[in-house]
Amino acid sequence: MGKKILDGIRIVEFGWAVVGPITSSWAGNYGAEVIKVETNTKVDVIRTMPPFKDDRADINTSLFFARENASKYSMALNLVHPEAIKVAKRLVSLSDVVLDSYTSGVMSRFGLDYQELKKVKPNLIMISSCMYGQTGTYRSMPGYGVPLTAISGLTEICGWPDRKPTGPYGSYTDYLVPRYNLLAIVAALDYRRRTGDGLYLDASQYEASVQFIAPLLLDYVVNKRINTRQGNACPHAAPHGVYRCHGNDRWCAITVFNDEQWNGFCKAIGNLPWTQESKFSTILSRKKHEEELDRLIEKWTIEHTAEEVMIIMQRYGVPAGVLNNGEDLGNDPQLKHHHYYKKLEHPEMGAVDYPSHSIQFSKSPQEVFRSPCLGEHTEHVCKNIIGLSDDEFEAYSAKGVFE
DSSP character string of 66-97: HHHS-S-EEEE--TTSHHHHHHHHHHHHT-SE
* Domain end (from 285, 311, 329): 329
pLDDT of residue 243: 99
Q: Helix, strand, or coil here: 275? A: helix
Q: Is residue 104 part of a domain?
A: yes
Looking at the fold, whether 102 and 187 belong to one and the same domain comes out as yes
**Mean pLDDT to the nearest integer, 22-42:** 97
| pLDDT range class, residue 129, cuts 50, 70, 90 | very high
Strand-pair category, 125-130 with 97-100: parallel
Looking at the fold, whether 180 and 257 belong to one and the same domain comes out as no
Q: Is residue 216 part of a domain?
A: no
Q: Is 100 among the catalytic positions?
A: no
**Mean pLDDT to the nearest integer, 351-369:** 88
Looking at the fold, whether 161 and 43 belong to one and the same domain comes out as yes
| Candidates 44, 96, 100, 174; catalytic one | 174
Q: What b/e sequence results for 182-208 when a residue is b if at least 16 CB atoms lie within 10 Å of its CB, and e otherwise?
A: bebbeebbeebeeeeebbbbbbbbbeb
Residue 302 belongs to domain with CATH number: 3.30.1540.10
Looking at the fold, whether 73 and 198 belong to one and the same domain comes out as yes
Cβ atoms of 309 and 252 within 8 Å: the answer is yes
Looking at the fold, whether 150 and 16 belong to one and the same domain comes out as yes
Q: How far apart are CA 305 and CA 161, in angstroms?
A: 29
Rounded to 5°, the CA angle 59-61-63 comes to: 115
Looking at the fold, whether 357 and 321 belong to one and the same domain comes out as no
Q: Is residue 5 part of a domain?
A: no
Q: Is residue 234 part of a domain?
A: no
The structure's pTM equals: 0.93
Q: Is residue 145 part of a domain?
A: yes
Q: Is residue 233 part of a domain?
A: no
Looking at the fold, whether 322 and 345 belong to one and the same domain comes out as no
Looking at the fold, whether 207 and 309 belong to one and the same domain comes out as no
pLDDT tens digits for range 64-82: 999 999 999 999 999 999 9
% residues pLDDT > 90 (the chain) = 92
Q: Is residue 297 part of a domain?
A: yes
Q: How far apart are CA 375 and CA 77, in angstroms?
A: 8
Chain-centroid distance, C-alpha 231: 24
Looking at the fold, whether 197 and 162 belong to one and the same domain comes out as yes
Whether residue 358 is predicted with pLDDT greater than 90 in this model: the reply is no
- Name the domain count of the chain: 2
| pLDDT range class, residue 144, cuts 50, 70, 90 | confident
pLDDT tens digits for range 200-216: 999 999 999 999 999 99
* Domain end (from 305, 329, 353): 329
pLDDT of residue 1: 60
Q: What are phi and psi of 394, to 5 degrees?
A: -65, -40
**Mean pLDDT to the nearest integer, 248-260:** 98
Looking at the fold, whether 265 and 288 belong to one and the same domain comes out as yes
Residue 31 belongs to domain with CATH number: 3.40.50.10540
pLDDT tens digits for range 363-401: 888 889 999 999 999 999 999 999 999 999 999 999 999
Looking at the fold, whether 106 and 22 belong to one and the same domain comes out as yes
Cβ atoms of 102 and 14 within 8 Å: the answer is yes
**Mean pLDDT to the nearest integer, 16-29:** 96
Q: 290 is in which domain, residue-wise? A: 240-329
* Domain end (from 304, 329, 354): 329
Looking at the fold, whether 124 and 260 belong to one and the same domain comes out as no
Q: Is residue 378 part of a domain?
A: yes
pLDDT of residue 140: 92
